[in-house]
Chains A and B, each alone.
Chain A
Amino acid sequence: MTEVNTVLIVDDNPDYLRSLRTALQRSWAVQTAASVAQAQQIVLENAGRLRVALVDVCLDPRDDSDRSGFDLVRWIRDASPELPVVVMSALPDDSFPEVSDAAGAIAFLAKPVSVDRLRDLVARTVGSGETRA
């Protein structure tokens, strides 16, 4: 069972999932997903325990044009309106912060992200109960 104060990380890069898990698990429980379907299942099964979701924009490792992370953000907004979402991406696209905001995310992080910045954002989000709902 997922613990209270759980962070969900969604990224198709297994190395990045491992790094972020290591960085965050000292302070929070961590769930990871490598695809939209996995993330949706975790969200549905853990209502009330997830405190923040970190979602990568491009979730298809074979397709740079994939933007299904934004679709996932919109889905979370409908399925779990209380769950704050932070969007991440390594794509050099200046419109992403705006698109993330429009999709309902509370913040956008450009990869690579420092551990300090990531922990600070998660701490503030979990601590404040920040939500877009």
Chain B
Amino acid sequence: MTATPLVFLWDSDSDGKRHGGDLMLAGLEQARTKGHIELVVLKCWCDFTATHSEGSKEFVRGRQAVFFIHASEECGCGGPLVSGEDAATKLVDKQANIGLRLRGLDARVSVLLYSGGTRPALPQVDRGDWVSEDGVAARSLQRVPGLDLWIAALFEGMEGGADLARRFAEIPIPFSQLSALIHDLDNRIAPLRVDLDLLGEIGDELEEKTFTEIMTAALGSHESGDSCTRGSGNDGYLFGIRRGRSLADLISMTVQGDDEHLGLAKLIEQFPEAKRAELAPPGELCGGEADQCGSLELLVQRFKLRMESLRDIASGRPPDRTAVLERLEAVGTWLAAFSNYLRRIRNAMPSEPAT
């Protein structure tokens, strides 16, 4: 078997527009330049199937063939539509024509099926798994900083497909943490956005029943209203525990980090390209000008103060309706600004798309 792996890339996003495919192509080009691989870039799947003609199939004979396939690709030239997932499935299917022919040529096949967002839906694999040695790996691959370097390093001194599988599994996905935190945060504040709109559009005309329902859902219901009942019973979506932590805990963990997550400060520090002036916390998170923030940790204190103020006002008997709405608006504004801030950081990372 020839030592140099033959690598095929099918990813139409490798078009110079900072998509994930560009990083994949850049990494593979580096590996090719260093002589670690022979690279074939496929514009369409039919580019590959054409190599199975009698004249060109010797190209593959006896070689290690590694396929990098973007799951969202589609090829319709000259026949039924073939998706990236279809192609990956056929490559590793020993009953399919392509799979059968590759094995007839003594080619050892490895396939990486990847997607920037959705989980590739091959039935035999799950996210992050790699079925190596004539198998297929499916992975949701975020556009991580330095992905091109990781891809290039996959082939450094590589001697076999199993080694490639192990190396691939070691590619970090640091942004998936930030994305997951944004997901959690935006899911929690989605009802608040709707509720604030509802409260705002009817104002004083708001039915007492609807007002009470919204307040109970957001702030919880505490019959006595004293501090002893806090943290128990119905705390509402703003104060309750969801997925093991309160909203304040989520904000705090996002900024300060924990055993599993990098805090914002460390995340920014890790990627120097993100250390730009515009990534300073916006003034609306700090209660004033941006330079008054001092540190990211102050954001957490600022948020907790707003929440305490909201809770104190809401526990009045009877609560001052206007004051409660004002505090609720303030919390909603802060949370929306914080969510936007997280997205700005995510998008400012060197390999993230500018949206």
Contacts and interface: CB of A to CB of B under 8 A. Distances in A.
Contacts of A93: 116-118, 179
Given A18-B217, A64-B180, A13 B119 contact: no
Interface in A78-103: 90-96, 98-99, 102
A112 B190 contact: yes
Contacts, number: 100
Contact of B194 (A58, A99, A113): A113
Nearest to A116: B197
B118 to A, nearest CB: 5
B119 A67 contact: yes
Interface stretch (B181-189, B276-284, B287-295): B181-189
Contacts of B197: 23, 114-116
A128 interface: no
Contact of A16 (B190, B213, B346, B353): B190
A9 B8 CA distance: 43
B304 interface: no
Nearest to A103: B118
A91 B180 CA distance: 7
A41 to B, nearest CB: 23
A92 B343 contact: yes
B118 A67 contact: yes
B162 interface: no
B222 interface: no
B186 A96 contact: no
B60 to A, nearest CB: 31
Interface in B186-208: 186-187, 189-195, 197-198, 201
Nearest to A62: B243
B336 A112 contact: yes
A7 B154 CA distance: 50
Contacts of B195: 19, 22
B194 A23 contact: yes
A98 B197 CA distance: 28
B72 interface: yes
Interface in A29-83: 58, 61-62, 64-65, 67, 70
A21 B83 CA distance: 38
Given A22-B210, A92-B182, A92-B183, A113 B118 contact: no
Contacts of B118: 67, 70, 93, 95, 99
B214 interface: yes
Residue of A102, A113, A115 with highest tally of chain B CB at under 10 A:
A115
Contacts of A123: none
Contacts of A115: 194, 197-198, 201
Interface string B70-88: 0010000000000000000
A92 B179 contact: yes
Contact of A90 (B186, B198, B346): B186
B210 A94 contact: no
Nearest to A12: B187
A112 to B, nearest CB: 4
- Give me the 7 closest cross-chain CB pairs, A-B, nearest first: A90-B186, A112-B193, A95-B117, A115-B197, A19-B194, A19-B191, A93-B117
Interface of A: 13, 15-16, 18-20, 22-23, 58, 61-62, 64-65, 67, 70, 90-96, 98-99, 102, 111-116, 118
